[in-house]
Structures are given as structure tokens and as C-alpha cells.
Amino acid sequence: MLKVSGLEFKQFLNDPKFWVDHQTWYEFDSFYVNDTDRTDDDVDHDELLPTDVIKIEAGTVHLTDSDTEGVSLNSYFKKWKKLQTEGYVLVKLKKKDIEPFKLHVKTFKNASVVS
């Protein structure tokens, strides 16, 4: 099973090296957003929130229009993730702790706060 944040899933889907325009596509057997089964829904990826939890039980990536076999979505995602040089951490804090946390994050070289 593939389990990722909405943020990471959208980064994966928007990587042009892995998704050749109108040629590479995926399908899934089950698709959950925050434990709600959305398998039969037309899921608009633009509406996924960074904090959403995406679970895909099984899926296939087709690398071309004529690719009938495809590759495992899970293994394709893992290949993508291995090539990434940056990562993301989603943190839930009490409001009073947000500013001190942001200041602490800024002490790390090459770290940035997205909020």
C-alpha cells in the first residue's frame, strides 16, 4: 500500500520527468483520502490538501498510451522518492508554538517554512 501526504503526492504527480504529458498515466484499485474511500469518485488532484493522507491499495502506472502491462504505482513512487534531494515535514502544533518553531527551523541550512 502507498501512503503519502497530499503534498508529496501532488509533488510526485507534477514531476515532468515521471509524467510525460498525455502519455504516462495511472489507475488504481482503491484510493482513500483521509480514510474516506474515493475510489469511484473523480478525484481532482488540485483539490487535495497538503495535509491530506492519501492511501492507494494497489495501482498501475502506464508509461505510454500503448502500455497495457504497466508498472506498480508503489514501485514507481519509490523510484521517484529515491531521486528527490529535498523532503517535506508536516507538523501540527498549538498556535502558541508556531512562531518559535518557525524560528528554530530557520536555523537549519537550506530549510524553509512553507505556510
Mean pLDDT of the chain: 88
- Asked whether the predicted pLDDT for residue 95 surpasses 90, the reply is yes
| 22 close to 77: Cβ distance less than 8 angstroms | no
Residue 18 falls within a domain, yes or no? Answer: yes
Count of domains for the chain = 1
Residue 38 falls within a domain, yes or no? Answer: yes
Residue 71 falls within a domain, yes or no? Answer: yes
Residue 114 falls within a domain, yes or no? Answer: no
| 11 close to 47: Cβ distance less than 8 angstroms | no
Nearest to 59, CA basis, from 101, 97, 24: 24
| Cα 97 from Cα 107, distance rounded (Å) | 16
More confident residue, 49 or 67: 49
Find the domain containing 29 and state its range: 2-88
Residue 100 falls within a domain, yes or no? Answer: no
Residue 83 falls within a domain, yes or no? Answer: yes
Residue 47 falls within a domain, yes or no? Answer: yes
Q: What is the mean pLDDT of residues 29-58?
A: 86
